Structure 1
Amino acid sequence: MDLDFVSAHAERSATALTRRDVARVLLAVPSGVALVALPDLRREMMAVGNPLSATFWDTARSTLSAIESGTATVGDVQRWLEATGSEPILLTPSYFVWPEEDERGPVAEEMYTRFIAYLEERIKAGEIDPDELASGNPAARAAYEEMQERWLNTPPDGRVPVLVVSDEQDEELFAAWDEEESYALAELRRILAELPKRPELPEPDLRHAAARLREMLVFPGYPGNVLRACAGFEGGLIPDDDRELWLAVVAGIAGPISDLDEEPAEEHEELSHEEAALAALCAIHHADWLAAVAALARLGPGALASPERIAQLIAESEDITVDMDDPDDLDTTETLFSHVTGLWAYLGIVDEDDVLTPLGWWGLPEALERAWSPED
């Protein structure tokens, strides 16, 4: 590794290289290689009139040595990189985190590049002293963090960086979610079409379950508040039609529409039972829902649908690609579905022994298809 290598990696001439450029290259190669190259690289930088500083080279040597010996933490290395003065900090005081390099969209990449250029300008203007950062000066660090926070929340061109980057990440997340949901819906429909028989709607069971559901929905507390949130009934009208009502609630369990109509727990407080239930529903992946409902649709009424059995059905499913050899994975899935089956019992999907009912056999695939179908 020589100066030409560093310049090529940073895509800058040797005279324009910054501390950040050199630090990133040193971290991009094995630490032993970087340590060996360090003295010659320093001499080459001095020869082209870009010597950086003694503090930079000293901290580079100590950081690389700690990496080589296995005593450096990820935080130690990140802190050293940030001390170059033009590296965006990993976590801002307002908890903003830049996307990883391979996950940045066009907006995030543009803003990231602009931000680095801005920090380099501040170094040239003497507003950032990398040597003070490298020495661990608390005041210099605080000023550095405040400067980054201020830029992220000040529009350089009419756009607030922290907002436009977050919006882009949200759009990408929603797009990925929609794509996953669309694929899961297509797979569900394929599986249902291949079944030899689909059940008829058990009208008496539905009427009984819907009547019980209406009673639960008008009272505060569990399970009514969770079921209202799942179906998005908070502050809205409850359907008069039994089929529409029941399917809306069951579909909401697979894809909750709203939050609870109560104040969330403070950071230091434990989640209430209702909050834990809703969080568990939101944590279940499309693939797990697909595997569970497809398996129960094939098995039919009388099949055991306990949380433990559902976890096993998902682990053994040929409808999805899943690796659940780790007992912890099975335990996690079982825990999540314990909240599901608890709600299913109130809706007549499973009986008191966690056995699938005729209503559950008919309704689960119908409700899951509804949950994943695009709104008209």
Structure 2
Amino acid sequence: MDLEFVCTHAGRPASALTRRDVARALLAVPSGVALVALPELRRALMGASNPLSATFWDSAKATLGAIESGAATVGDVQHWLEATGTEPILLTRSFYVWPEEDERGETTGEMYDLLVAHLETRVAAGEIDPDALAAEDPAARLAYEDLQERWLTTPMPGDGRVPLEALTDEQEKELEEAWDEEEAYALSELRRVVGELPEPPLPERELRTAAARLREMLTDSGYPGSVLRACAGFEGEALPDDDTDLWLAVAAGVSGPISDLPEEDDTLEEFVDLDGDVSHEDSVLAALCAIHHADWLAAVTALARRGPGVLASAERIARLIAESDDVEADVDPDDVEATEMLFMSVTPLWAELGIIDRDQVLTPLGWWGLPKALERAWNPGD
């Protein structure tokens, strides 16, 4: 490692290198190599009339030494990099976390580079003191954080974009695209598995009985009616006249809740504990939303293969998911326990829908309807 390596890594001549450029180059090679190269690199930069400062070189030696000895944490290294004065703070005041370089979208990469350039101008203007940052000066660190937060929340000259809003918009879009891709794959796998199985008969009498009970339940303000209405998105809307449509809409909503609980002033006290605790209804909805596509796929396909009479308790479902050949995952005992906890919010709702009976055994209605409901949850347009 030498000055030429640093210049190539940073894409700048020696005279224009910043502390961040040098720090990032030092971190790009093994710490032992960087420590050996440090004295010669310092002399080379002095010869290029860009000596940086003694404080920077001392901090570099200390950090690299801590890395080499195994004493440095990832946070320690990140904090040192930020102390160069031109490195964006990883976790901002607004709780935005900058992605790794190879995970940044087009907008994120643009904003990151613009912020680095902005910080470089502030260092040149004397508004940022890198030596004070390296010396762990609390006031300097606070000012550094304030400066970055102002930049992130201030409209940019020219196009008027607010950087933080542009970043979160792109992040949300990426999450939505990833979610849609995962859902589309799960749907295709569900259809593949179900297509290989015999078509279960429609238990018409059980469906009519479950639908009649469901219509009555959905008029109640408390649990489970409140949760089932939110799952199906029936708040303020007339219920479907057709029993099959009603039942499938609610069963699908359990796998993919459409809305939250109502938040009107006259209903808040009913669902929210006055001491600030999360209500039972809210915790149930949160659990439903936390179940992954792969877990729903593994659970429903396992039950569809086994048919009526199979135990469908939360504990058994968690085990079926862990043993499933339909999803690829490393089985961890903690994961199985966490999955069981999530499905403990599902099985009582399944019981209300007649999917399982009082002994938590899959019914003919559940065998017929679960795959159809899951397909509807993942493909609401059909």
| TM-score band, normalised by shorter chain | over 0.9
Amino acid at match of 1:164: A
Structure-1 separation of matches of 2:92 and 2:109: 18
The residue aligned with 1:188 is: 190
Partner of 1:83: 83
- Cα distance in 2 for partners of 1:241, 1:368 equals 19
The CA deviation at 1:99 is 2.0
Amino acid at match of 1:260: L
* 2-structure distance, mates of 1:265, 1:130: 48
Question: Partner of 1:356 in structure 2?
Answer: 362
Pairing of 1:275-354 with structure 2 (within 5 A)? 275-324=282-331, 326-354=332-360
Q: Which whole-Å deviations, capped at 9, do the CAs of 1:67-126 have from their partners, x for residues lacking one?
A: 222222222221111111110001111212222212111111111111111110111111
Quickly say closer, same or farther: Cα 1:210–1:287, change in 2 above 3 A.
same
Is the counterpart of residue 104 in structure 1 residue 104 in structure 2? yes
Gaps of 5+ in 1: none
Structure 1 partner of 2:162: 160
Counterparts of 2:34 and 2:252 in 1: how far apart (Å)?
56
Distance 1:41 1:134 in 2: 19
Correspondence 1:118-133 to 2 at 5 A: 118-133=118-133
Task: Say which SS state the counterpart of residue 309 (structure 1) adopts.
Answer: helix
Partner residue of 2:37? Answer: 37
- Between 1:13-22 and 1:254-263, the stretch displaced more is 254-263
Describe the SS at the equivalent of 1:256.
Answer: coil
The amino acid of 1:360's aligned partner reads: G
Structure 2 portions without partners, runs of 5+: none
Q: Taking structure 2 as the reference length, what is the TM-score of the superposition?
A: 0.94
Tell me, in whole angstroms, the C-alpha distance in 1 between the residues paired with 2:329 and 2:96: 32
Pick from 172, 178, 181 the counterpart of residue 180 of structure 2. Answer: 178
What secondary structure does 1:339 align onto?
coil
User: 1:90 is matched by which residue type in structure 2?
Assistant: L
Deviation track 1:311-356 (CA, whole Å, cap 9, x = no partner) reads: 12112222221221x2111111111111111210111100011100
SS of 2:175's partner is: helix
Which amino acid letter does the alignment assign opposite residue 352 of structure 1? R
Give the residue type in structure 2 aligned to 1:328.
D
Paired amino acid for 2:364: P
Partner deviation per Cα, 1:172-216 (whole Å, 9 max, x = no partner):
111111111111111111111111x21222121111111221222
Equivalences for residues 53-68 of structure 1 within 5 A: 53-68=53-68
Point out 4+ residue stretches in structure 1 off by more than 4 angstroms: 262-266
Q: CA RMSD in A?
A: 1.7
Counterpart amino acid of residue 76 in structure 1: D
> How many angstroms apart in 2 are the aligned matches of 1:212 and 1:121?
68
- Provide the secondary structure at the position in 1 that maps to 2:346: helix
Residue 9 of structure 1 deviates from its aligned partner by 1.2
Shift of 1:236: 2.5
Matches of 1:5 and 1:162, distance apart in 2: 34
Q: Which amino acid is 1:292 matched to?
A: A
With normalisation by structure 1, the TM-score equals 0.95
2:235 matches 1:213 = no
Q: Distance in 1 between matches of 2:131 and 2:272?
A: 43
| Other-structure match for 1:2 | 2
Deviation of 1:235 after TM superposition, in Å, equals: 2.7
Following superposition, the deviation at residue 269 of structure 1 comes to 4.9
2:2 and 2:300 map into 1 onto residues whose CA distance is 59
Q: How many residues align?
A: 373
DSSP-derived class of the 2:51 partner: coil
**What is the CA–CA distance in structure 2 between the aligned matches of 1:131 and 1:125, rounded to whole Å?**
15
* CA distance in structure 1 between the aligned counterparts of 2:67 and 2:144, rounded to whole angstroms: 25
Amino acid at match of 1:71: A
Shift of 1:237: 2.5
In structure 2, give the amino acid aligned to 1:64. Answer: L
Corresponding position of 2:249: 248
Give the corresponding residue for 2:381.
Answer: 375
For 1:232, the equivalent position in structure 2 comes to: 233
